[in-house]
Structure 1
Amino acid sequence: MRTIRYRSQGEDVHHLEQILTKLGYTVFVSNFFGKDTDQAVKAFQLKNNLVVDGIVGLKTWSKLIEAEKNLVAFNDKFLSEKDVKDFANDFGLELAMVKAVNEIESSGKGFLLHGRPRILFEGHIFWRELEKRGVNPSSYVSERTKNVLYKKWTKTHYKGGAGEYDRLEKAAGISDKAAFHEAAYASASWGSFQVMGFHYKHLGYASIDHFVSEMYEHEREHLKAFGKFISKTNFKGKKLIDWVKEKNWAKFAEGYNGPGYKKNKYDIKLKNAYVKYSNA
């Protein structure tokens, strides 16, 4: 979710005002962050021991989503057996195939406690995404940013869980330029199936913020993104979904996870999970 404040406009503002309304604040729900919304945000921040500045950044978003979660059963965000079966039927996949990928790519979890989607922030992707937007990453490397901005992949800086949001927030906040926000959110993998944010346009989402807002909604949205990804992504002459149908776990794992799949034994894990669910 992007950082918004007084006079901001867009879908995120509409989403914010819907949440505030659910929480009992009197605001006009639109796409414009007006004075009524500014007052409601400040009242919410005061109530929740946040800095009262009217700015809805990652911390305020997290508290808002947590508060909304308390109004709706948390389990409502999780995939049901029907969701998985419907997806398998729609895409011509065995149910065991979908369950296997879900288990290995996300450990069966799409959300963290408190309602935020599971993410993993990749600093080397952030480097590339900045370059795509005409920013020289080298100019922003420092002792402070070295754990979120680096040229080559490393797992050294992974924190896991909610700690990945700390890294995401740090990356997005390196500069006030919109490019840093967009590049940071495009550099995380999101939800149950850990789809990288930079795929948003390829998958048909209007913007990175649109993609992220969908990931906050429900694991069903994670499944939709996964379906779009494996149906539209080519790898070594075939769509990824075709490698799944052929049970060629090595080709699927390489195309989905990259060349490091062997080191992490994703193909073996996927095969074993498929066998387990096939025999269930």
Structure 2
Amino acid sequence: MTNEIINLTKKVSSEFGFDPAVMLAFIEVETGGRGFDSSTGKIMIQFEPAWFKKKAAYAPSGLWNLNKVDVQSKEWPAFNDAFKKNENAAMESTSIGLGQIMGFHFKRLGFATVGEMWDHAKESLQNQIWQIAKFIDTDKNLKQAIKNKDWFTIAKIYNGSGFMDIARKYKREPYNISMQAAYNKYSK
């Protein structure tokens, strides 16, 4: 994690009354501490074809429905193909930035349109961190879990109830374990 992200997280965390070590753990585990792709400068994304299929009234097949990996060089062509077919549905069906917040949460974060949410996140890391804090602040259960450092509940709310099954499937450490370890590192 860069010093810039650490310092910005401390600043934004104080605005929302969150423990910066919890926020840093959250950021590290969700995206490895990257809001922008170092090779392209573009915002980090994860395009979700299943969501696009739900959000777009009709979308002919294309690159968008072949996306099955979380590699930025593959995400962007899939997203761009979906964007050509339905701009708003594509943006709503993609998680962005440090927090990997799905675009369909734009209203929850206080934006009038999904495009405004994207534009805000593309401006800076500080805005992406602010979006994470706002997302947490607008969910009383997630906010309480963050305050309690209840890693299991945080992971369940943020990544869905099947997060443990996904970890087993891909032979990854479950989010709750990773967050606890990251918190221990940043709280020192």
Q: Which residue of 1 aligns with 2:7?
A: 82
Contact between 1:79 and 1:220, CA under 8 Å: does it hold in 2?
no
Q: Please give the alpha-carbon distance, in whole angstroms, between the structure 1 residues aligned to 2:117 and 2:9.
A: 21
The partner residue of 2:128 within 212, 222, 230 is: 222
Q: Partner amino acid for 1:169?
A: N
Structure 2: gaps of 5 or more residues? 168-173
Q: Which residue of 2 aligns with 1:47?
A: none
Q: CA deviation at 1:93?
A: 2.2
Percent of paired sites with the same residue: 29
Q: CA deviation at 1:129?
A: 1.3
Question: What is the number of residues matched between the two proteins?
Answer: 179
Show CA shifts across 1:168-191 (max 9, x none).
011122x3xxxx110011111000
Higher CA-based Rg:
1
1:96-175 equivalences in 2 (<5 Å): 96-113=21-38, 114-130=40-56, 135-136=57-58, 140=60, 142=61, 146-148=65-67, 157-173=68-84, 175=85
Structure 1: gaps of 5 or more residues? 1-74, 149-156
Q: Which has the higher contact order (CA 8 A, sep 6+)?
A: 2
Q: Which residue of 2 aligns with 1:276?
A: 185
Query: Does the alignment pair 1:91 with 2:16?
Result: yes
Q: Please give the alpha-carbon distance, in whole angstroms, between the structure 2 residues aligned to 1:242 and 1:81.
A: 22
1:1-280 equivalences in 2 (<5 Å): 79-113=4-38, 114-130=40-56, 135-136=57-58, 140=60, 142=61, 146-148=65-67, 157-173=68-84, 175=85, 180-234=86-140, 238=141, 240-263=142-165, 264=167, 265-279=174-188
Q: Partner amino acid for 2:8?
A: D
What SS does structure 1 have at the residue aligned with 2:18? coil
More helix by share: 2
Q: Partner amino acid for 2:127?
A: E
Query: TM-score, length-normalised on structure 2?
Result: 0.87
CA gap of 1:101–1:145, structure 2 versus 1, over 3 A, is closer
Note the aligned Cα RMSD (angstroms). Answer: 2.0
Contact between 1:112 and 1:162, CA under 8 Å: does it hold in 2?
no
Contact between 2:63 and 2:81, CA under 8 Å: does it hold in 1?
no
Q: Please give the alpha-carbon distance, in whole angstroms, between the structure 1 residues aligned to 2:13 and 2:83.
A: 36
Query: TM-score, length-normalised on structure 1?
Result: 0.59
